[in-house]
Every structure is written in structure tokens, then in C-alpha cells.
A and B are shown apart, each in its own frame.
Chain A
Amino acid sequence: MTNDMTENHTEIAAHEAIPTNPAQSHWADVWQQLKAHKGAMVGFYLFVTTVLGVVIGPALWHADPTFLPQGRDFITLRDTRPIYTALWDSGAKVNWAHPLGTDNLGRDTLARLMYGGRVSIAVGLTAMLLSILLGTFVGVLAGFFRKIDGPLMRLTDLFLALPLLPLILVAALLFRDPLSNSFGTEGGIFILIVTLIGITSWMQTARIVRGDVLALKEREFVLAAQSVGTTPAQVVLRHLLPNVLSPIMVSATLGIATAIITESALSFLGFGFPPDFPTWGRLLNDSVDRMVLYPERVLWPGLMISLVVLSVNYLGDGLRDALDPRIRGR
């Protein structure tokens, strides 16, 4: 019976060119297209692995990133090299208890990398969320309500004309103490950095969303929704937002990359988290002075930043291709 059906089906397909692929949802389509993009898949798995590594890692690797060995231990445990150095340098000071070595104060590098990654990725994700929320909000408002389109877009232009990195640096220094006092050192600086990155990176999203909303709101389905008495808020939430989700997702992925880089740059320039609080940028900055003797301390945090950003960029690239119906299926 089923055999008969399929035969019948293919016959019709041959005659009338009816697509034989089973109908599937939009997101299944996107996923299939994304799976075909090798770079995006490698990026996706790399990013997921890194996130899992820094989230679960500390539960498996019990070293305390802030533990300072005292007395004799301090001398025996400080400045340990990674174990792989023993491969070419038999006299190197290595210790199986610290696979990636320790820093000049005897703190375990692997643990510090994990905790640093937690902060860096947390900053990246939160800042991206904030910037996407802001961008979508401004974009939808500007696109949907004609009256505030002009002022909002001028505001966007103005933000684009601001020299962002200098201003972030200035603001990071100015608001550091007030926020640290009210939210605690780490919490305050986390809020500060996330807010700064968020409010300086929403402009591209706003522009893209506005353009899409402008085109979408003239379509018949919006008119139909309005004619049955849907309120503007419902039109935006039910009918417009799901349709602008694709460009938002792409800029969200790319936003993670920019946020991580900006946070590391701030930490690197000494305007980010305090010295004893590991983030990848901070670790890199702290090790630059000793990079002649201990290049691995620069290498690992830098490599982690680059790998995460690279994987996220590849993922965003693949996602853009997968979400664009014009190039899909090529």
C-alpha cells in the first residue's frame, strides 16, 4: 500500500514537478541548511564545548583559582610550566597537579582559565542580550510608529558617530567606583561593562530591524490583523517580531563575538575587572610582562578568546546563509 503510494507520488512528481521533499517547518529547514555549512557546524560545536568546559569544568577540576600557596609551597609551586614543556625541555619545572602550570603567585592556570572563561562568556552573552533587546526595541518602534521614526533614527546616527572605544574607556573609569560601592567590586564592574557594551552596540540591530519592520508592516497579513482589531502591541509581538527573528539571530551571534572582544580589550587596557579577578583579557594582560620566560601564559587566554570569537563568527556566517531563503538550497 505504502509502496504503491510512493510510486504514485514519484510519478506525479515526474509529470508535474511537485517537490518530493516532505514539508517541514521553517526551523527544521534552517537547521538542515546550517548542518551543510561545515564552518558553522565546527563553530557551533566548538562554542558549545567551550561553554560546557567553563561551566562544568570547575566541578571536575577542583583547583581553586584564587588559592595562594604559603611558605615553602609558594616557592615549589610558583611559575610551574605546563606539562607538555617537559617534551622538549627535560629540566623544566612541571607538576602533574597543575597540567597548564601556575602563575608567578602559584595559582593554577587551568582553573584560572576556566573561571576567566566563565566571566568572559557571561559578559559576552549578557551584553549581547542587552544590545539585542535595545536594538530590537528601538528598531521596532522606529519602523512601526512613523512619528518617532525620525528622532529615533537620528539618535541611532548620533550613536554611530560617537567614538565608542574612547567613551567606553572614559565611562569605565568614571563609573567604576560608584557601582563597585553599591553592588560589590565584581558585581559592580560586571554590570558596568555589560551596560557599556550593550548601550554602545545596539545600533546595527536597530537599523536592520527597522528596515525589515518598515517593509513588513505594509504587507497584507498585518493589514488583516489590524482589521480584526489587533492592538499595535499585539501586532508587533505576534506578527512582526517572529518575522524579524532571523536578522536578529544573526546579529545576536555576531554580537557575542564583539562583546567578548570588547570586554577583553577593556581588561587588557586595565579598565576592566580588578587584577585578582580572572577573565581571559585580564589573564593576557597580567602575563604580558613575563611573556619572554612564560609564553604559554599569554598563549592560552589569547587562544581561548580567538577560538571562541572565531567559532561564533563562523556560526553567525552560517546562520546568515541558512536564514536567507534566497541562498538556501544551493
Chain B
Amino acid sequence: MLTFTLRRLVLAVPTLLFISLVIFLLLEFAPGDPMAQVPLTVPPEVKEKMREALGLGQPVHIRFWKWIVQFFWIEPQVMIDSFLGTTFSADDLRVISWQTRSPVMDIVVQRMPQTLWVVGTAYLVGILIAMPIGIYSAYKQYSWFDNAGTFVTMVGFSVPPFFSGVLVIVIFSVQLGWFPSIYDTTHKVTDWNSFVVQLKQMIMPVMVLALQITSQISRFMRASMLDNLNQDYVRTARAKGLRERSVILVHVLRNSMIPVVTIIALGIPAIFGGAIITEQVFKVNGIGQLLITAIQANDLPMVQTLTFIFAVLIVLFNLIADILYGILDPRIRYD
């Protein structure tokens, strides 16, 4: 198992490098000019100087190499510095955003908590709702509960977040006035009342994201439970007189969890991507919103770094899913 993990880790490095190259080359084609916002009165030679100051004067491979060094060598140093108070990265040039002229990673770190709060809570809520639904609809297959559950999950699959989000805003904040339609990220939780305010503003984005997550996971949970319910070991467990409760919740559930856990791990990076839309609807200024504004403003270092972070998440959670699979199911050890 350890060798497998190590091998996968080593393999992940060229994959990530290749992905970063793909993203870099894609952005290289960009016809958009970062100087487009500069007033026309600025003379061309000054513009050229400005382009060079942004690091655009050098050939492609050198810029790619510089970005790699900045991202993989200097940024980790900055991280260590901020934790331990050392000065490894004192004079090094970091990845600088063209929009704000400040280091990209600083902005990402500022934006991360908002996304993590909303997305993380939604994921947890989604899993907690999905599991019982999946288990019960598999146990009572083709019952009214199962049919209703199938319908709800189908709706969850089909209603895009930019519609369900707008719909809950119309219902709950416009018509009923229960929750605010805009997520206030400057809000700080200090006492019970401010906690309630935070809870209120989180409910709608979490609800929208959780609907999607629930529908995916409960489908998988149901299918996986159905696969296991007809197995011989279930009959054995019943035959030896175990209570139905422990047959289902201990024997069947534990075996059914194997594919579901990997699906949960695989879904985490996709959720970050899906949150782009939800963040836009509820005006949460998280990672997704940062990406959208960066794309619109032609801020290539920011776009490059953010897209790459998404890629890292995907590769990382693929790896985690593979390892989890091996740990949970001894039959699938890869060595």
C-alpha cells in the first residue's frame, strides 16, 4: 500500500507539471492585452516599459519556468515564513496579480475561508442528508419513498444552481424576507446574535449547493446498497438471527460505503468548480468569484494560479480516493 501511494504521488508530479503547462499555453494564446485598460494618451514606448515591468518581455519558456519557481519554490517559503516568522523569502519575487499588484497567494488566502465555510458546510449537510435517504430508498426499493427520493434527486441533478439559487432568493428573501440575498463576508461572529446572522446568510447558498450534492451522493448510496443487499453474506447474517437493524446498518452499510466514500472524495474538487456559479449568485466573494473577476480583468497570473490550484485539488483528491479505496477494501490492494 505504501509503495502504491508513493508511486501515485510520484506520478502526480509530471501530471501536475503537464497541466500547468497546458494552462500556461492556453493563456499564452490570449489575445487580450493587460495594457488595454491603460489610457490611450500613454505613449507606446511607456506601454512597452510597463509590459516589461509585468514580466511580459521575456520568451515563453523563461516565463513558464519563472512561474514554476515562484509557485513551487518561493510560495512554500512564504508559507513557512508566515507560520514560523522566518525570513526565507525576504527578497524573492512572488506571483504578482496584475489587477491589485499584490501577491496572488495573499489574495487567495484571504478569499479561501469564505469558500471553505460555504462549500464545506454544504458538503457536510449534503452528505448527512444523502446517506439516510440512500439507505432507506435502497432498503424499500420501488416504495413511494424510493420513487419520491428518485424524483427529488433527479430534480437536484437537473435544476442548475443559477436557477435554484435565484429561485430561493425570490422566495425566501424577496417574498418572505427571511434571509439576506447577499452574503456579507465582512460579518464577524462574536456573540449569539451575530452567529444567528451568520447562520441566516449561510442558509441559502448552503441549501442550493447541498441539493446538488445530496442528489449525487444519495443516488450512489442507493445503487451501492442495492448491489450489496442481494449478496450471500446478507442472507447469512439474517440466517444467524441478527436483528434487521444491525444487518443493514452494520453489515450492508459498511460494505456499501466503499464506493460512496471514494465518490465523496472525488466530488470535493468538483464542488469548488460548481461553487463558482453559486458564489456568483449569492455574491460570496470567495475563490470562484475571484476567478471570474480575474478572467474578466485579463489578470493572467491570477487566472493561471487559481486554475492550477483547482487542478491540484482534483489530482490530490483522485489520489486520496484511490488510497481510501485500497484501505477500505482489502481485496483491492494494488501491490
A residues contacting B by CB (< 8 A) are 39, 157-158, 160-167, 169-171, 173-175, 177-178, 257, 261, 264-265, 268-271, 281, 284-285, 288, 291-292, 295, 298-299, 302-303, 305-306, 309-310, 313-314, 317
Contacts and interface: CB of A to CB of B under 8 A. Distances in A.
B174 interface: yes
Given A284-B166, A291-B174, A166 B27 contact: no
Nearest to B175: A295
Interface string B1-42: 000000000000001001100110011011110000000000
Contact of B158 (A165, A299, A309): A309
Interface of B: 15, 18-19, 22-23, 26-27, 29-32, 150, 154-155, 157-160, 162-163, 166-167, 169-170, 174, 269, 273-274, 276-277, 280, 291-292, 295-296, 303, 306-307, 310-311, 313-315, 318
A281 B273 CA distance: 18
- Max count, chain A CB within 10 A of own CB: residue among B163, B274, B307: B163
Contact of A165 (B19, B32, B273): B273
Contact of B170 (A157, A291, A309, A314): A291
- Max count, chain A CB within 10 A of own CB: residue among B158, B296, B315: B158
Nearest to A302: B163
Contacts of A177: 31
Given A164-B273, A166-B310, A302-B167, A281 B162 contact: yes
Contacts of B15: 157-158, 161
B318 A161 contact: yes
Contacts of B23: 167
24 contacts: A158-B15, A158-B19, A161-B19, A165-B274, A166-B273, A166-B276, A166-B291, A167-B307, A169-B276, A174-B32, A175-B29, A178-B31, A257-B157, A261-B160, A265-B162, A269-B280, A270-B296, A284-B166, A298-B166, A302-B160, A302-B162, A302-B166, A302-B167, A306-B158
A149 B273 CA distance: 30
A303 B314 CA distance: 32
Nearest to A177: B31
Contacts of B314: 160-163
A299 B163 CA distance: 8
A313 to B, nearest CB: 5
A153 to B, nearest CB: 13
**Interface SS of chain A:** helix
A293 B27 CA distance: 41
Given A170-B27, A174-B31, A292 B154 contact: no
Given A158-B15, A284-B162, A295-B174, A163 B269 contact: yes
Nearest to A174: B30
A170 B295 contact: yes
Nearest to B314: A161
- Max count, chain A CB within 10 A of own CB: residue among B30, B162, B292, B315: B162
- Max count, chain B CB within 10 A of own CB: residue among A161, A269, A288: A161
Contacts of B159: 302, 306, 309-310
Given A161-B318, A288-B166, A310 B154 contact: yes
Contacts of A166: 273, 276, 291, 303, 306-307, 310
Nearest to A312: B158
B155 A310 contact: yes
Nearest to A301: B163
A156 to B, nearest CB: 12
A165 B269 CA distance: 11
A163 B314 CA distance: 7
Contacts of A158: 15, 18-19
B158 A163 contact: no
Nearest 8 CB-CB pairings of A with B? A163-B310, A302-B163, A310-B158, A309-B158, A268-B162, A165-B273, A306-B159, A166-B307
B183 to A, nearest CB: 16
Contacts of A314: 154
Contact of A265 (B27, B277, B315): B277
A306 B307 contact: no
A178 B303 CA distance: 20
Nearest to B277: A265
A269 B279 CA distance: 11
B295 A169 contact: yes
B99 to A, nearest CB: 15
B277 A306 contact: no
B138 to A, nearest CB: 15
A253 to B, nearest CB: 13
B166 A291 contact: yes
Nearest to A157: B15
Contacts of B277: 265, 268-269
A161 B150 CA distance: 29
Contacts of A309: 157-160
B162 A171 contact: no
B163 A161 contact: no
A18 B160 CA distance: 50
A240 to B, nearest CB: 28
A15 to B, nearest CB: 32
Contacts of A281: 162
A162 B157 CA distance: 22
B157 A313 contact: yes
A170 B303 contact: yes
A178 B30 CA distance: 10
Nearest to B171: A295
Contacts of A257: 157-158
A207 to B, nearest CB: 14
A306 B167 CA distance: 12
B160 A161 contact: no
